Structure 1
Amino acid sequence: MAGVDAAQASAAVGTADPYSRALGTGRGPLFLRCEDGRVLPLEIERWCAGPDAADTAVLLRCRGTVLDVGCGPGRIVAALAGSGHRALGVDVHPDAVRRTRAAGGRALCRSVFDRLPGEGGWGTALLLDGNIGIGGAPERLLARLAEVVDPRGLLLVEVASEDVDERMAVHVCDGRGRCSAPFLWARAGVSALTAAAANTRWEVTETWNSGSRAFAALRRAG
């Protein structure tokens, strides 16, 4: 198990050579290799394309200013900017930030656990494409976003489509045997997210599915 904190774990993804290569080409294969030998595909082609129908359902729910945590190559931030939203992506990977900016979005190369612009005032925060896993501790991540989002704001999370609650060490690997250093990651389905939210001043107010993808909306409890 990698002994790294959440910010370092995010940085491990960001500096992984396989991820850099995939960002540059927009193609995989790319996957997470788990400590138990499982491999979990990463949908780099989808991330580097424009928003799909599932993304559009998320975009339509965004209110006010939008913070995309782990924005990757920036399809969501660029789409929000194109529709007139004030949106910002944050990602620890410089190439992801550059690609987001090239697509017309605003982005910072920064961990969500670092100081962010507009803390406490964001209308909506996004955790898409598995980013509830950042740092391997959903409770810590949700607690951090409770500091970042306006008390009346909204958190939109993509969850695992199956009922899973995992904390693990993983590597980012490609199809040529190249792998990143290990880092901490998590996977959470709706039940796990609901339990984590109950401990971090959030409550799940809506869930929905779009194709094979699953999502939840959260607001501040009380």
Structure 2
Amino acid sequence: MPVATRPWSADPYAHALRRRRGPLFLRRADGWLLPLDVERWCAGADAADLSALHRCEGSVLDLGCGPGRLVAALTSAGRSALGVDVSEAAVDRARRLGGPVVHRSVFDELPDEGGWGTALLMDGNIGIGGDPAALLGRVTQLVRPGGLLIVETAPQEVDERVEVQVDDGRGATGALFPWARVGPRALERHSRPAGWRATTRWTVGERRFTALRSRRAGVPR
């Protein structure tokens, strides 16, 4: 029988990060598998990543930062940045790269709430919590009025909320947890009621991104 562990917090996710390679998947209840690109997450920022980082404004909050490649790239370029992740293994690796990271959920209290210039939801992290509208609403509380949010969406037009578990393809699985997959059009539908206005879409290779601007009123800091 597969051995169940906590999502993102123990084997097989932590084990894959220690090895810096997969295989690793998100498995739906119907058996469908979404490959997770552990090798890319553990490498340096690539051209697609940099296309997003070059658009960042002010201080940058990377939500679901994983092993920290984006925070490391930002800080090495002299930018003020902070990573946030629930995985102890990911946070440990990110800190070894020299990036400032906190071991928390996006829904926990975070430093400088309401003052961040840009928030990042990369690598499909719009799926965090399984409720894109709630997540987008939370991010409005984190960035400054008029602040920026950059989201990496699913490459295809999809809008689904499911339960998944981390699976290494060899019998080890994590506990079930809620997740979402959102394409560009669905992101815009969810973003408007949450106080965001989509401003730019772009594609690098097979990866798709959307930049959104907060409509929250107030005096920017």
* TM-score class, shorter: over 0.9
Which residue in the other structure is 1:4 paired with? none
**Offset at 1:12?**
4.4
**Alpha-carbon separation, structure 1, partners of 2:128 and 2:204:** 23
Contact 2:146–2:215 (8 Å) recurs in 1: no
> Is the CA contact (8 Å cut-off) linking 1:97 and 1:107 kept in structure 2?
yes
1:112 maps to a residue whose letter is: V
Q: Percent identity?
A: 57
Residue matched to 1:128: 122
Cα distance in structure 2, aligned partners of 1:121 and 1:73: 24
Give me the whole-angstrom Cα distance separating, in 1, the residues matched to 2:116 and 2:6.
27
Structure 2 residue 66 is the aligned partner of structure 1 residue 72 = yes
CA contact (8 A) 2:64 2:85 kept: yes
Query: In structure 2, what is the equivalent of residue 95 of structure 1?
Result: 89
Are residues 1:81 and 2:75 paired?
yes
Q: 1:8-63, CA deviations, whole angstroms, 9 ceiling, x for partnerless residues?
A: xxx94322411010010101000010122210000000000001110010110011
Instruction: Name the SS of the counterpart of 2:74 in structure 1.
Output: helix
Per the alignment, residue 194 of structure 1 pairs with 188
2: distance between equivalents of 1:152 and 1:165?
26
* The one of 108, 129, 141 aligned to 1:114: 108
Structure 1 partner of 2:212: 218
Bigger shift: 14-23 or 98-107? 14-23
Gaps of 5+ in 1: 1-10
- Distance in 2 of aligned mates of 1:88 and 1:116: 10
TM-fit CA distance, 1:177: 1.1
Q: Partner of 2:12: helix, strand, or coil?
A: helix
The amino acid across from 2:161 in the alignment is R
CA contact (8 A) 2:121 2:150 kept: yes
| Larger helix fraction of residues | 1
Q: Name the structure 2 match of 1:36.
A: 30
After superposing the two structures, state which structure 1 stretch, 72-81 or 34-43, moved more. Answer: 34-43
Matched with 1:171 is 165
Q: In structure 2, how many angstroms separate the alpha carbons of the residues matched to 1:56 and 1:202? A: 23
Separation of aligned partners in 2, 1:136 and 1:69: 15
Residue 61 of structure 2 corresponds to residue 48 of structure 1: no
1:159 and 2:162 correspond? no
Length-normalised TM-score, structure 2: 0.94
Q: CA deviation at 1:203?
A: 1.2
Q: Can you list the C-alpha shifts for 1:133-170, whole angstroms capped at 9, x where unaligned?
A: 00000000000000000012100000001000010000
Using the TM superposition, give the Cα deviation of residue 196 of structure 1 relative to its aligned residue in structure 2, in angstroms: 0.4
Could you tell me which runs of 5 or more consecutive residues in structure 2 were left unpaired when the two chains were aligned.
217-221
| TM-score in terms of structure 1 length | 0.93
Corresponding residue to 2:8 among 10, 14, 19: 14
Aligned to 1:3: none
Does structure 1 conserve the Cα–Cα contact (< 8 Å) formed by 2:9 and 2:89?
A: no
The residue aligned with 1:184 is 178
1:187 CA displacement: 0.2
Report the secondary structure of 2:171's partner residue.
coil
Instruction: State the distance in 1 between where 2:162 and 2:17 align.
Output: 24
Give the Cα–Cα distance (whole angstroms) in 2 for the partners of residues 80 and 97 of structure 1. 16
CA RMSD of aligned residues (A): 1.2
CA–CA separation in structure 1 for the residues paired with 2:214 and 2:57: 15
How far off its partner does 1:73 sit? 0.3
SS in 1 for 2:119: strand
Answering whether residue 119 of structure 2 is matched by residue 145 of structure 1, we say no
